[in-house]
Amino acid sequence: MGTARARRGDTRQRIQDVALDLFAQQGYDKTSLREIAEHLDVTKAALYYHFKTKEDIVISLFEDLARPCDELIAWAADRPRTLETKTEVLRRYSEALRDAAPLFRFMQENQATVRDLSIGESFKARMLTMVGLLKEPDAELTDQARCVTALVSLHSGMFAMQNVEGDPEEKRRAILEVALELVTAAHGPGAPQK
Amino acid sequence: MGTARARRGDTRQRIQDVALDLFAQQGYDKTSLREIAEHLDVTKAALYYHFKTKEDIVISLFEDLARPCDELIAWAADRPRTLETKTEVLRRYSEALRDAAPLFRFMQENQATVRDLSIGESFKARMLTMVGLLKEPDAELTDQARCVTALVSLHSGMFAMQNVEGDPEEKRRAILEVALELVTAAHGPGAPQK
Amino acid sequence: MGTARARRGDTRQRIQDVALDLFAQQGYDKTSLREIAEHLDVTKAALYYHFKTKEDIVISLFEDLARPCDELIAWAADRPRTLETKTEVLRRYSEALRDAAPLFRFMQENQATVRDLSIGESFKARMLTMVGLLKEPDAELTDQARCVTALVSLHSGMFAMQNVEGDPEEKRRAILEVALELVTAAHGPGAPQK
Amino acid sequence: MGTARARRGDTRQRIQDVALDLFAQQGYDKTSLREIAEHLDVTKAALYYHFKTKEDIVISLFEDLARPCDELIAWAADRPRTLETKTEVLRRYSEALRDAAPLFRFMQENQATVRDLSIGESFKARMLTMVGLLKEPDAELTDQARCVTALVSLHSGMFAMQNVEGDPEEKRRAILEVALELVTAAHGPGAPQK
DNA sequence: AATGAATGAGCGTTCATTCAT
DNA sequence: CATGAATGAACGCTCATTCAT
C-alpha cells in the first residue's frame, strides 16, 4: 500500500529503470514493450501514455544518463589542451561510464541497432569530440590510435574483463591507468605539459 | 541465362555473401530472410534448402571466416609464451581480423544478439584463450588490463577510427603498434624475452 | 453499428464458437487461425489478444465443455458401485456428450492431433476413470470388453449412425439402451444390485 | 550390399511401410514427406517417382490393406442373411482388422483428415455396407444401434482397451464375443437362424 | 493515468510439389 | 531410379502502435 502509493507518479521513472535493465540484459530488439509492461504490472498502452514510441524510451534514457558526459565535454572545451586536462577528462569520463554502466553496456552491445536510432548520430559525435579533446591537432596516426584505444578501452574494458577476477572498482582503475598511459604517450614531449 | 547458369551450384556461397553484407550493414535482427532472398532473386524457401535456420547462416559464416583465428590459436598453443610469440600472435591476429572484417564488424555491433546465438559462447571462449596467450599467468591487474585493451583495440579500433582520415592499412598498422606496445609493457622485464 | 456494439466484449466467446465449429467440421490441423479470424471479421492478431496460442483455444473449449463430465465423475466417485449407480452414470454421460456434441466429435475425429495437445492426457485419464466406474474390480476380460464397448458406443455411436434415418434424440436413446444392456450384463448376478 | 541389393526395386514397398508406420504413430498431417524420406535415406523427390502425391500413398495403403475387407463383403453379398453368415462375417472382419491394425488405427485417429481424402467416401460406404450385412432390413432403431455398436467396437475396441492388461489376441476375442452377442440379439427370434 | 481491444505488417519456418538433369 | 534446387502458399506467432473509454 505504502509501496503502491510511493509508486504513484513515478511510473515514468519505473519504466525507464525496467527498460534500461532489460535493454542491457537482452538487447533492444529482443526486449518487447509487452515484456517491459509485464515487469511493471501495467498494460502496454500505459507505456504509450508516458512515451510516444519505443525509441523515445531510449532517447529519454540517453538524455538522462549521458548528461554527465556532455557536462564533462563542456567543461573541457574551455580549458587548454594540457596533459593535466586530458588526465582529468579521462578520470571523470571513467567515472561517468561507471555511473551509467547499464546504459553504456546497452550502447556497446547494440551498436547496430543504436546506429539508426536518433541517438546514434549524437553518440558518434560525442565520441569524435572526446577524441578531439585527447589528441593533439596534428597528431600522427599512431598517436591517434593511442587516443582512440584509450577511449575504446574505457568503453569496452569493463565488459571485456568480466571474466577476470577482482573487485570491479579496482578493475576500473586498472583500465583507467592504461588509458592514462596511452594518452600520456600520445601527448608527446613537445606538447604543453601544464 | 549464362548468368543464371553460372549461378547454379554457388547459391549457398551467394547466400553467405549477401547475408554477411546485410548483417554487417543493418544488424542481424533488422535483416530478414525475405530481404536476403530478394537480393538474390530467389524465394525465402530457397534459403531453407541451403540452411536449416537463420542462425545456421551465421554459424556457417563464423565457421568459414573464423577458422584462421582458430588456427592461430592452435599454432600458439604449443609455443613458449615468449614476447616473440606474443608479438607474432598479435600480428597475425590483426591480419585475420582484417581479412574477415565484415564478420567481426557484425559480431562487434551485434553483441547482444550474438550472445544468445550458439556461436556466442565459442566467441567468448576464443577471447579468453587469446587473453591467456598474451598475459603472464600471474600478471597484475594493470597488466591484465593492458592485454585486454590490446585485444579490444584490435577488435574495435578499425571501426572507431573510421572517421580518422588515412589509408585503412596504415590505420591497421598503427593500431597494431599500439597493441604491441601494450603487450610488451605487460610482458615485464622478468619474463622470458625469447 | 448496433451489431458491432453488441459484439464488444463477447469476442472471446465468439472465437470459441467459431473455432469449435470449424475444428469439428474440418479438423484441427486443417483449420487455420486465419480462417477463424476471417469468419469473425477480425485479424489474426486479435485472436492472440484473447488466447495465447492455437492450442489454448482448444484447451479453453475443453475446460468449458467437459466440466459436466468431470462433475459426473466426481458425483459417482462417492457412491457404491451398484448397478443403479452405473445406470445413472451412463444416462447422464450420454446427456453430457449430447450437450457438447461438437467438442466430442472434434476429439473423436482428431485423436492423433489431440494426443499431443495438452488435453490429450486428461482426456485419456477421464476415459480410464469412467471404465473404472462401470466395471467390477475383478471383472473378466469379456466383461471389461462390454464396459469399454458401452463407452465407445456412446462416444462414436452418434457419428456412426449419422446415415441411419430417425430423430437424433431417439437414436441417442437407442444407443444408450444398448450401452445399458452391456453394462448390466457385465455387472453380473453376484454383484450388488442396489 | 546384400541389403542394398535386396532393397532394389522394393522402394515402393518400403515407402509404404514407413509411411504407414509414421501415419499411425503421429497422424497424417503431422507426418511430412521430408520425414518419410529421411527415414528411408532418400530424397523427397524420390517419393514422387513412386507416388504422384502424398494422398496417393494413403490410397495405395488403403487399396493393399483393405482388400481383405472388400473380399469379405463380396463373399457375404451372395449369401443369405442368416445368423450364421453374420457370425462368420464378424469373425473374419475382426481378423482382417487385426491384420491391418496400423492402417485402421490410422483411419480411426485421423477421421477428420481421412474424410476429405478420396478414400474417405469409400471407407464410409464400406461401413454402410457392413451395417447392411448385419442388420435385418426392417430392424428397429435399437437393433440398428446394436449392429452399429458391434462394428464400432471392433474398430475402436483394441485401442480403447490398450490400457487393459492381457494378451492382445485374447482381448480381440473378448471384443469379438461382445460384438457377436450384440448382433445375435439384433438378429431377433423371427429371423432365419440358418 | 491507464486499460481493453484491436490492427497491419512482418517474421522465421514448413510443406507438398515440380522439373531439369 | 533418383537427386539437387527451387517455388508458392500457407502457417503460427509477435511486434509496435492506436484509440475510444
Domain extent listing, chain A? 54-187
A189 pLDDT tier (thresholds 50, 70, 90)? confident
Please indicate whether residue D139 or residue B192 has the higher confidence score (pLDDT).
D139
Residue A8 has pLDDT above 70, yes or no: no
Give A6→chain B minimum CA distance, Å.
34
Is the Cβ pair B27, A112 closer than 8 Å? Answer: yes
Residue A42 has pLDDT above 50, yes or no: yes
CB contact set of C97 (below 8 Å; sequence gap of 6+): C104, C154, C155, C158
- CB-count exposure of residue B9 (10 Å: 0-12, 13-18, 19+): exposed
Rounded-to-integer distance, Cα B142 and Cα B187, Å: 11
Rounded-to-integer distance, Cα D185 and Cα D46, Å: 53
Residue B2 has pLDDT above 70, yes or no: no
Rounded-to-integer distance, Cα B154 and Cα A168, Å: 23
pLDDT, position A1: 41
Cell digits of residue B29:
535482427
In whole angstroms, F4 C1' to D15 CA is 21
Among the residue ranges B6-15, B161-170, D124-133, D169-178, the one predicted with the least confidence is B6-15
Tell me which CATH code domain B54-187 carries.
1.10.357.10
- Within 8 A of B29 by CB-CB distance, chain A residues are 27, 29-30, 113
Chains A and B touch (3+ CB pairs under 8 A): yes
Rounded-to-integer distance, Cα A176 and Cα C129, Å: 72
Chains C and D touch (3+ CB pairs under 8 A): yes
Give A149→chain B minimum CA distance, Å.
5
In three-state secondary structure terms, A3 is helix
Residue B1 has pLDDT above 50, yes or no: no
In whole angstroms, F5 C1' to B49 CA is 8
Using N-to-C axis directions, what is the helix angle for C101-109 and C83-99, rounded to 10°? 90
Spans in chain C with pLDDT lower than 50? 1-2, 4-6
Rounded-to-integer distance, Cα B76 and Cα C157, Å: 77
Distances (CA, A) of A59 to A114, C8, D160: 10, 37, 63
pLDDT, position B19: 98
How do residues C123-142 score in pLDDT, each as one tens digit?
899 999 999 999 999 999 99
CB contact set of C90 (below 8 Å; sequence gap of 6+): C134, C150, C154, C176, C179, C180, C183
Give B188→chain A minimum CA distance, Å.
15
Those chains having 3 or more beta-carbon pairs within 8 angstroms of chain A are: B
Q: Select from B111, B170, B181 the Cβ nearest to the Cβ of A109.
A: B111
How do residues D86-122 score in pLDDT, each as one tens digit?
999 999 999 999 999 999 999 999 999 999 898 998 8
CB contact set of D108 (below 8 Å; sequence gap of 6+): C111, D155, D156, D159
Query: Which one, of A35, A116, C182, A77, lies nearest residue D150 by Cα?
Result: C182
B9 pLDDT tier (thresholds 50, 70, 90)? confident
At position B117, the amino acid (one-letter code) is L
Spans in chain D with pLDDT lower than 50? 1-2, 4-6
Distances (CA, A) of B56 to A88, A140, B26, B59, D58: 47, 43, 18, 5, 34
How do residues B96-115 score in pLDDT, each as one tens digit?
999 999 999 999 999 999 99
pLDDT > 90: percent of chain B: 89
pLDDT, position C2: 42
A66 pLDDT tier (thresholds 50, 70, 90)? confident
Is the Cβ pair C29, D26 closer than 8 Å? Answer: no
Is the Cβ pair C153, D157 closer than 8 Å? Answer: no
pLDDT, position C192: 61
Single pTM value for the model: 0.91
- CB-count exposure of residue A89 (10 Å: 0-12, 13-18, 19+): buried
pLDDT, position B188: 80
pLDDT, position A84: 94
Residue spans of alpha helices (H) in B27-109: 33-40, 44-50, 54-65, 67-77, 83-99, 101-109
pLDDT, position A2: 45
Query: Which one, of C82, C64, C114, C98, lies nearest residue C167 by Cα?
Result: C98
Is the Cβ pair D153, C149 closer than 8 Å? Answer: yes
pLDDT, position A32: 98
Q: What is the CA radius of gyration of chain A?
A: 19
Distances (CA, A) of B64 to A50, B95, B116: 47, 16, 20
- Within 8 A of C144 by CB-CB distance, chain D residues are 161, 164, 174
Rounded-to-integer distance, Cα B149 and Cα C117, Å: 53
> Quick one: average pLDDT of B4-19?
80
- Give the A:B interface size as CB pairs under 8 Å: 129
Nucleotides on chain E that have an atom closer than 7 A to a protein CB are 1-20
In whole angstroms, E8 C1' to C38 CA is 15
A104 pLDDT tier (thresholds 50, 70, 90)? very high
